Amino acid sequence: MHPFAFLKTDGHLSSSVAGFLKKLLTDKIADAVLAAAPTPYSLLPMPTLFTDPEQIEKANPLAPAAPFNTARQAASILKHETGKRIALVLRPCEIRALVELTKLKQCVLENTIIIGVKCLGRMENAVYLEASSQNANLTQAFYDDPVLQDRICSSCAICTRFQPVHADISLSVIGMSANESIGLSAETDVGLAVLKQLGFETCDAPEGRKDAVNRLLEKRESAKTAAFEKTRDKTDSIEKFQRYFADCLNCHNCRVACPVCYCRECVFLTDVFAHDPEVLLRRASKKGMVKLPTDTTMFHMTRMAHMAHACVACGHCSSVCPSHIPVADVFIRVAEEIQNLYAYEPGRDLSEAIPLLVFDEGV
């Protein structure tokens, strides 16, 4: 059982969490904090790097929105050791992606404090903005109102990995009354040291919290089984697969939004798929016509073959699709099958080798 502390909210969830993060700066426990916050121009909470304790009062990392997976932004701050201690407030899927990027030598995690959120999910951007326009205190309302919680995106509704791994401290909202307090769970020695430096007294986690987690897990497992079956029926042949992605514009937004897609140059942006006119005319002559671009199906299949082992199921590939294709529904299902095949869970263990980089002579 991890040491546990209570952060009093008294009906002011966002400001209480922001106050907790502020003390990391004022007490010089961290030199900077990465946390989601609205901008002067939009209510959408964007990843924001804070160094000024007064500015961090604007942070709202528990808001039920995430315009994109923040792992990429976190990795840009952590490309190499800077001598500064950085605290990062991340969702479980963002932490998992950051761990995978660390394995790929895209960043380093030394001298960080990772604060994870036991996550109830995120709303799509348009849904969040609409709800925010109707409720100035949406973050508080979200954790109090199951009806609002049902408005999360489809990928979050089937997420069974909503508890952070590799966090030093977890913000525990599940099974807690966010109107009164939320939990701070020390997951590592680093996390425990931070809580002690901030003056928190630790105790055992409250009874009932584990039951609440298990109930949510059971609900998500059931929803995932149903969703996987529905998607499988729609894509269990090449013809069905092509029909599923028929409205794809080849914009590659799904690739850009993917937090674990790290190649400096994508093969689909090279001469490999820059076909000569003769090739296109030859393809057209076979059937009398050919759709352009020609490689839509190849693009999605290649992405799955390349990245399915590392998919963290954040669902942002669907969120950015201008044609509103539920890309993530297919990708998450395929990814789970591939990950089960390799007995590999992305983000589970920093020391666990990436399957595609391992050669086993005995197999």
DSSP characters over 41-100: TEEEEEEEEE--TTGGGG--TTSSB-SS-THHHHHHH-SS--S--EEEEE-HHHHHHHHH
Predicted confidence at residue 287, as pLDDT, reads: 86
- What percent of the chain is predicted at pLDDT more than 90? 76
Q: Angle at CA 131, nearest 5°, toward 148 and 311?
A: 65
Does position 273 have pLDDT exceeding 80, yes or no? no
Give 115-130 pLDDT, tens digit per residue: 999 999 999 999 999 9
What does pLDDT average to over the chain? 92
Reported as a pLDDT band with limits 50, 70 and 90, residue 295 is confident
| The predicted structure's pLDDT at residue 175 | 85
pLDDT > 70 in the chain, percent: 99
Residue 35, beta-bridge partner list: 48
- Whether 1 has a pLDDT exceeding 80, the answer reads no
Model confidence at 60: pLDDT above 80: yes
Interval 18-31 mean pLDDT: 96
Report whether pLDDT(257) > 80.
Answer: yes
Highest mean pLDDT among 173-187, 198-212, 234-248: 234-248
Kindly report whether the global pTM for this prediction surpasses the value 0.85: yes
Given a cut of 80, whether residue 191 has pLDDT beyond it is: yes
Q: How confident is residue 147, by pLDDT bands cut at 50, 70 and 90? A: very high
Angle between helices 209-235 and 327-342 (to 10 degrees): 110
Question: Which H/E stretch holds residue 97?
Answer: helix 92-103
pLDDT of residue 155: 96
**What does DSSP assign to residue 357?**
G
Distance, CA of 21 to CA of 16 (rounded, Å): 9
Per-residue pLDDT at 207:
80
pLDDT of residue 333: 95
Per-residue pLDDT at 2: 84
For strand 32-39 and strand 112-117, is the pairing parallel, antiparallel, or unpaired?
unpaired
Query: Which of 114-123, 147-156, 202-211, 262-271 has the weakest average pLDDT?
Result: 262-271
pLDDT value of residue 362: 64
